[in-house]
Amino acid sequence: MGLKTGSAFVKTKEELEVMRRAGCIVGKLLKLMEREARPGISTKRLDEFAESFIRSEGAEPAFKGYYGYPASICASINEEVVHGIPGPRILKEGDIVGIDVGAKLDGYYSDAARTFPIGRVDPNSQRLIEVTRQALLRGIGQAVEGNRLTDISWAVQSFAEKEGFSVVRQYVGHGIGRKLHEEPQVPNYGKPHQGPELVEGMALAIEPMLNMGTPEVEVLEDGWTVVTKDRKRSGHFEQTIFVGKNEAEIVTG
């Protein structure tokens, strides 16, 4: 990670403009998901809704077929951290669900995620959602020229742990552009002031995953769904951002 300077990851103005348009599609979809993700709906139906919307906007679902992934969104419920495969499972009052989705437009990618409460949820789950969202904002706040990559990581980790949650370490954020996952990796933990220097025009997907219990996770037999080892709930928020001179630009907001 420290072998490359930040300038090696910088996108051109033309690339950034295409990514803005791809990001707008994902941002609009996640706003619609706030209405769609409700008690009584299946995660398969959410997936169908997402794919239809993305295609109606002239883009392609970024996840479908990616390393063989079978769906257009990841729908991760309660103790599922990431990569939950949509299916017949019905969302119930009190569940929480992380919806992770990406779009590919004119050869460029965008990627974002939100955790939604399904109906009324218990106070601890609501707090998990809010702290994860705030942890993402703390990380994004460090995505300015002159900082180092792990300033983002430390901002996420220090806030999350201060609030009593643990940070998943096996799965991290990433660069993004012509590929869904590019260098550099963006961990949600680590000491500050390390890694590449951040440069205006870098495109990153920052995505904290916070657990109510321990940070340990495992993958279920389907080969995709990541769950907390202690089966306590997990939250996930993500935005595609561009590093700026004075503040980051949120592309998928």
Domain with 180 in it: what CATH number? 3.90.230.10
The overall average pLDDT reported for the chain is 96
How far apart CA 116 and CA 142 sit, in angstroms, is: 25
Residue 36 burial (CB count, 10 A): 16
Determine the average pLDDT of the residues in 24-36. Answer: 98
How far apart CA 243 and CA 217 sit, in angstroms, is: 30
> Would the pLDDT of 41 be above 60?
yes
Asked whether residue 141 is domain-assigned, the answer is yes
Residue 243 neighbours by CB under 8 Å, 6+ apart: 6, 143, 144, 145, 198, 199, 200, 201, 202, 203, 204
Q: What is the number of structural domains in the chain?
A: 1
Asked whether residue 43 is domain-assigned, the answer is yes
Q: Are 86 and 75 in contact (CB under 8 A)?
A: yes
> Would the pLDDT of 223 be above 60?
yes
Give, for 60, the enclosing helix (H) or strand (E).
strand 60-61
Residue 221 neighbours by CB under 8 Å, 6+ apart: none
> Would the pLDDT of 5 be above 90?
no
Asked whether residue 91 is domain-assigned, the answer is yes
Asked whether residue 110 is domain-assigned, the answer is yes
**Total-model pTM:** 0.96
- What is the structure's pLDDT at 158? 98
Q: Are 121 and 147 in contact (CB under 8 A)?
A: no
Show the domain range for 37: 6-250
Asked whether residue 1 is domain-assigned, the answer is no
> Would the pLDDT of 20 be above 90?
yes
Residues in the chain: 253
